[in-house]
Structure formats: C-alpha cells, structure tokens
Amino acid sequence: MLEVRGIEVSYGEFLALRGISFTVQEGELVTIIGANGAGKSTILRAVMGLVKCRKGKIFFNEEDITSSPTHHRARLGISLVPEGRKIFPDLTVAENLFMGAYIQEDRRAVQSRMEEAFSLFPVLKERQNQVGKTLSGGEQQMLAIARALMSRPRVILMDEVSLGLMPIYVEETFKVIENLHRQGVTILLVEQNARKALQAANRGYVLETGEIVLSDQAKKLALNPQVKKAYLGGT
Amino acid sequence: MLWQQLANGIAIGSVYALISLGLTMVYGILRILHVAHAGIYALGAYVGLFSFRLIGNFWLSLIVGMAGAAIAGYFVERLLYTPLLHLPRIAPLIVSIGLFTALEEAFRIVAGPHTLAYNARVGLGDLSIGSFHLTETQILILLVTLAILIFLWAFLTKTRTGLAMRACAQDPETTSSFGVNVSAIIAVNFLIGSAMAGAAGVLIGVYDNQVWPTMGSIPAYKALAIVVLGGLGNIPGTVLASIVVGLAETFFIGVLAIPFPRDAVAFVAMILVLMFKPYGLLGKA
Ligand SMILES: Nc1ncnc2c1ncn2[C@@H]1O[C@H](COP(=O)(O)OP(=O)(O)OP(=O)(O)O)[C@@H](O)[C@H]1O
Ligand SMILES: [Mg+2]
C-alpha cells in the first residue's frame, strides 16, 4: 500500500535520511523504532509531503506521490498524527475535529464520525466547545488521534502518540491503536515506547542516524539482543 | 452633540475597520506587512469612480470597485508575495512599499494629479432626529460596513473554507495535512481582504466626494497603527481598535477642540495601549 524507495532528506547541509526504503502492506501495523534524532519524524513528514525528498520515490497504492503536494496526499487517504500534537490552539475541540474531516464534504457523514470520536474519547465530548489550548496534554493527544481519524484514512501515520501521557493513558492509547488495527486500518507507528510498539506491531524497522539497520517481524525484533540492549532497556 | 460625535466617530472608525481588516488578515496568514494594501484601497476608489461615470449607478460602482480591488490584491499575492515567501519577511515588505509608491504614481499618470469628484447619488437620504443628524453617506458607511462585517463573521465561523482559513493562520502545515490547499486559502484571504479595502476606498471617495492619487498615504500608516493596536492578526481586535481610533479622533478634535493633529491620534493610542498591553487590545502572547 505504502512503498518508500531509497529516500534522502536533508535539512540544509545535514542529511537526516540516508536512503530509506520500507513498505507497509494494507491492514498492517508497522513500527519504526530508533533513538532521539534518528530521523523517525522526518520519515513520517516525508511520507506526508511536509519535507521534500532529495532522492528516492514514494508510492501509495502504486501511484507515485513523491512530488504531490501535502493536501493531495491527504485526499488520497494518508493521515498524520504529528509529533507534538499540533492541535489548533484557538479552534474549539469540535472545530479541530471538523478540520480533521475537511476532505469529507457530506455534513451528515461528518456528524456521525464526530459521534464516533466522542464515543472513543468521551472526555472530548465534554470539552467540545473549549478551545484547543485549554486542554491538558493528554486530552490534546486524544484530540490529535481523534482528529486524524475523522477523514477515515486508509493509512495513518502516528508520531509518538503516547509521549507525555500517564501510564494509564498509554495503555488506553495502545488499546485504541490495536482496535484500529483490528478494524483493518493500516498504521505506521513511530514510538519512543519501543516495547509497547513491538508488542502491538506486525513488523518493525530499526532506524539509526538516518539509516534502517534492521527489519523483521515485530516479535522477532523484540527478542533480538541488539534491540533489547539499545531500545528495551537491557536483558 | 455627544451622540453626534459618537455617530461621526463610529462612521469613520467603520472605514478604518474595512481597510485594516485586510491588513490584519494578510498578516495573520502570511506574516507579511502588506503596506501596498492602502494602494489597493485607492485603486478601489478609482475603479469605483470610473465605473460610476460609465454606468451611473452608485451600488453597481461599489461592487465593481470591490471586484477591481479584489482582483488586484489577488495578483499582488500571486505575482509578488508568494514567490518571495521563502525569503526573510523584510523582502516582501520592501516589495510592498515599492509597489505602494508605484501604484500612487500609476494613479497620477492614468487619472491625473488632481482630485476627482465622486458625486454619486446613493438614494438613501439624510436622517435627522432633533439635533442629531446623520448624513446620507454616513448612513451608507454604517450599512455597508455592517453588512460586510456580518458576511465576514459568517464566512469565518460558519463555512468550511472560513474554518480552514482560521486554521491556516494558526498552523498552515498541519492544515495542509488535512487536505486543505493552503495556497488557495491564501488567495481567498487576499480576495476578501482586498475587496473590503476597495469598499472602503469607494465609501471614502463618496464621503469626502473626492478621489486622489495619494489618498492611500495616510490610511497606509494609520491602518498599521490600528492593526498593531488590535493585536496583529486579531480580527475582532482590529474592529475594536478601528472604532476606538475613529471615536478618539472625533472626540479629541470635535469635542475637546484640542489643537492636535488628527492623524497622530492613532499612534498616540497605539503607544499608550502597547505600554500596558504589549500584544494589543485583544491580543495574546
Ligand atoms: N527543521 C530542522 N532543521 C534542521 N535539522 C532538523 C530539523 N528537523 C530535524 N532535524 C534534524 O534531523 C534529525 C532527525 O530528526 P527527527 O525529528 O526526524 O528525529 P526523531 O527520530 O523523530 O527524534 P525524536 O525521537 O527526538 O523525535 C535530527 O538530527 C534533527 O536534529
Ligand atoms: Mg520525532
């Protein structure tokens, strides 16, 4: 469904991605793990079209989208939960959700998705008329996930969605992710919490300073001694 | 007397609002100080005047003036600002100042250096209640401004495109990732802002019964003061600041009869407010 072939991305002189290739099949949950600054967010931003690739190609359902503008990719069904949540601070919760459903013009469909979002995260319903910046960090994270689902994406890119959440919300968030996966949503997940990510995922890639150094079934990666040592806190 | 000054102040403040709103909207979405906006305002007055001479109907000339300004604003954005967006903001600012001067010269060359009368029959009539008196053009200004503000409010709060425009002003990148064509939103932003400036040009043309090449000079810097006063990029703040400046001008000059240059009032107000509220009347950090 999503195929990335040898992409290179640089920020000025600095080469952040040095020829990255990976695939995500329809219905899969794939995770990319790596240390801070390895380039995980850059990969997701490249897939969304928020940074330009100097080299390489990106295909979505066989269509070459390497040079498509971001809004075009969104219309094809790619959705991003960005790093740092990126809630619109002065829009209300309901308006943030409406923005998530921007490509859906049928108002009734939007309304029913809104109800689904509220049943997924009931707290958002209580807060629907509050502006984004007044939500707590955890509430903003839920809103970011709910907002990215409003467009009924075919693939959803999630960047550190559990970051800064209380353990109970981390559990909750992973439950949501696994549920989405069961419903057949294709997911590309980037996580600091490598243990949880590998538990939930089908396959995983390990990223080190802009290069993919390992790729395998998630279960096997979780048992790999190198991965254990570097990302799962020893043993 | 007091009521009279109040009405005069609100009328003039309304025109300031129509000019300043476009400026604050452009700042909100592109972070550019669009100085040439005042040139678009004068252009609207000229286009309105010439179309009035051709068709003889004021309301039609108002619409043509707004359309002319909107189209001009659109081309300024597409041809001058968008290609410069990757540069530091000083580059589009310099271009904007240059364009403003060029527009004034163009008006002089095309329409001559003298003031031209915009002697339009609006067909509303004056309104007198006791000593309280509203001229026909004041009523016109109040009605047109009210209609435009209601339209703007409804557009920004009730439509998908308006919502996307507000989102864009907060975070264009995230907005685009939801399928919004940000470049189209910026174009709509310029079309609306410029149409409002064009309406202000036509209204002032009729109110003062004159249109002249440098009619944008004073509004150019006064609108900047108002926009800062309202909190850069803040739409309700800009409307409030415009009315405050309009009222302050009429009260200082009309009621207190202080021999104070009228056009300095906006700046004094700006300085005073910024001393206590550095982000403007309704601004946020
Ligand atoms: N806008 C930018 N300008 C310059 N360098 C950048 C920019 N964004 C990222 N980088 C650099 O690119 C590299 C990869 O950054 P990226 O954000 O993709 O890392 P990451 O794997 O997501 O890290 P983290 O786990 O901390 O979120 C880093 O070295 C970072 O400093
Ligand atoms: Mg990151």
Which ligand is closest to the CA of A208, given by its number? 1
Mean pLDDT of B23-31: 92
- List, chain by chain if needed, residues with CB within 6 Å of any ligand 1 atom: A 11, 14, 16, 34, 36-42, 83
B108: in domain: yes
Chain A residue numbers touching B181 (CB-CB < 8 A) = 69, 71
- The residue range of the domain holding B178 is 2-276
Quote the tokens at residue A81. 């939960």
Question: CA B200, B78, B27: angle at the middle one, nearest 5?
Answer: 55
Would the CB atoms of A86 and B164 count as touching at under 8 Å? no
The torsion region of residue B211 among left (phi > 0), alpha (psi -120 to 50) and beta comes to beta
Mean pLDDT for all residues in chain B: 92
Confidence of residue A87 (pLDDT cuts 50, 70, 90): very high
Q: How far is the CA of A83 from the centre of ligand 2 (A)?
A: 6
In sequence order, the β-bridge partners of residue A190 are: A32, A159
pTM of the model: 0.91
The 10s digit of each residue's pLDDT in B88-128 is 989 999 999 999 999 999 999 999 999 999 998 888 888 88
Q: Could you give the 3-state DSSP secondary structure of residue B49?
A: helix
The whole-angstrom separation of Cα B207 and Cα B143 is 13
Q: How many residues does chain A have?
A: 235
The domain that holds B239 is classified in CATH as 1.10.3470
B122: in domain: yes
Quote the tokens at residue B95. 């271009």
The whole-angstrom separation of Cα B215 and Cα B110 is 15
Pocket test for ligand 1, best of A8, A41, A209 (most atoms within 8 A of CB): A41
The whole-angstrom separation of Cα A208 and Cα A212 is 6
Distances (CA, A) of A10 to A52, A151, A191, A211, B85: 8, 30, 22, 13, 20
Is the pLDDT confidence value at B285 over 70?
no
Of all residues in chain B, what percent carry a pLDDT higher than 90? 74
Residue B204, pLDDT score: 96
CA A13: distance to chain centroid? 27
CB atoms closer than 10 angstroms to residue B138: 21
Confidence of residue A168 (pLDDT cuts 50, 70, 90): confident
Mean pLDDT of B1-14: 87
Chain A residue numbers touching B171 (CB-CB < 8 A) = 86, 88
- Where does residue B111 rank: exposed (0-12), middle (13-18), buried (19+ CB within 10 A)? middle
The whole-angstrom separation of Cα B7 and Cα B250 is 9
How many domains does chain B contain in total?
Answer: 1
Quote the tokens at residue B268. 């004094």
Would the CB atoms of B178 and A91 count as touching at under 8 Å? no
CA A51: distance to chain centroid? 16
Of all residues in chain B, what percent carry a pLDDT higher than 70? 99
Range of weakest confidence among A90-99, A170-179, B80-89: A170-179
Would the CB atoms of B163 and A95 count as touching at under 8 Å? yes
CA A174: distance to chain centroid? 12
Q: How many CA atoms lie within 13 A of A91 on its CB side?
A: 30
- The minimal CB distance from B180 to the residues A90, A102, A105 is found for A102
Query: Are A30 and A215 within 8 A, CB to CB?
Result: no
Chain B residue numbers touching A71 (CB-CB < 8 A) = 176-182
Identify the H or E element spanning A206. Answer: strand A203-208
The whole-angstrom separation of Cα B139 and Cα B237 is 24
DSSP alpha helices (H): ranges in chain B? 2-30, 37-55, 58-75, 90-111, 136-158, 160-170, 172-176, 182-207, 217-230, 235-250, 265-276
Mean pLDDT of A102-109: 91
Closest CA to B247 of B231, B227, B269: B269
B172 versus B127: the higher-pLDDT residue is B172
The whole-angstrom separation of Cα B111 and Cα B105 is 10
Q: How far is the CA of A37 from the centre of ligand 2 (A)?
A: 7
Total beta-carbon pairs less than 8 A apart between chain A and chain B? 65
Residue A234, pLDDT score: 59
| Minimal C-alpha gap between A102 and chain B (Å) | 6
Quote the tokens at residue B109. 């060359």
B285: in domain: no
How many domains does chain A contain in total?
Answer: 1
Would the CB atoms of A99 and B164 count as touching at under 8 Å? yes
Would the CB atoms of A82 and B181 count as touching at under 8 Å? no
Is the pLDDT confidence value at A113 over 90?
yes
Q: How many residues does chain B have?
A: 285
The 10s digit of each residue's pLDDT in B197-209 is 999 999 999 999 9
Query: What's the DSSP call for residue B279?
Result: T
Mean pLDDT of A66-74: 96
Residue B91, pLDDT score: 94
Interface residues on B facing A, Cβ-Cβ cutoff 8 A: 160, 163-164, 166-167, 170-171, 173-182
Of all residues in chain A, what percent carry a pLDDT higher than 90? 74
The domain that holds A60 is classified in CATH as 3.40.50.300
The whole-angstrom separation of Cα A128 and Cα A106 is 20
Query: Are B187 and B100 within 8 A, CB to CB?
Result: no
Is the pLDDT confidence value at A235 over 60?
no
B59: in domain: yes
Strand A55-60 versus strand A63-64 pairing type: antiparallel
B284: in domain: no
The whole-angstrom separation of Cα B116 and Cα B42 is 12
The 10s digit of each residue's pLDDT in B32-79 is 999 999 999 999 999 999 999 999 999 999 999 999 999 999 999 999
Pocket test for ligand 1, best of A18, A20, A40 (most atoms within 8 A of CB): A40
Residue A137, pLDDT score: 85
Distances (CA, A) of A153 to A31, A60, A145, A147, B145: 18, 13, 12, 11, 42
Residue A176, pLDDT score: 87
Please name the amino acid found at residue B65.
Answer: G
Closest CA to B80 of B66, B58, B98, B64: B98
> What angle do helix axes B265-276 and B217-230 make, rounded to 10 degrees?
20
Closest CA to B183 of B24, B21, B30: B30
Q: Could you give the 3-state DSSP secondary structure of residue B30?
A: helix
Chain B residue numbers touching A50 (CB-CB < 8 A) = 173, 176-177
Query: Are B92 and B81 within 8 A, CB to CB?
Result: yes
Confidence of residue B284 (pLDDT cuts 50, 70, 90): low
Please name the amino acid found at residue B173.
Answer: E
Quote the tokens at residue B219. 């509004």
Torsion, Cα of B5, B11, B13, B16 (10° steps): -150
Positive or negative torsion for Cα B35, B38, B40, B42:
negative
The whole-angstrom separation of Cα B113 and Cα B214 is 9
Torsion, Cα of A222, A226, A227, A230 (10° steps): 140
Positive or negative torsion for Cα B223, B228, B233, B234:
negative
Query: Are B188 and B30 within 8 A, CB to CB?
Result: no
Confidence of residue A169 (pLDDT cuts 50, 70, 90): confident
Residue B80, pLDDT score: 94
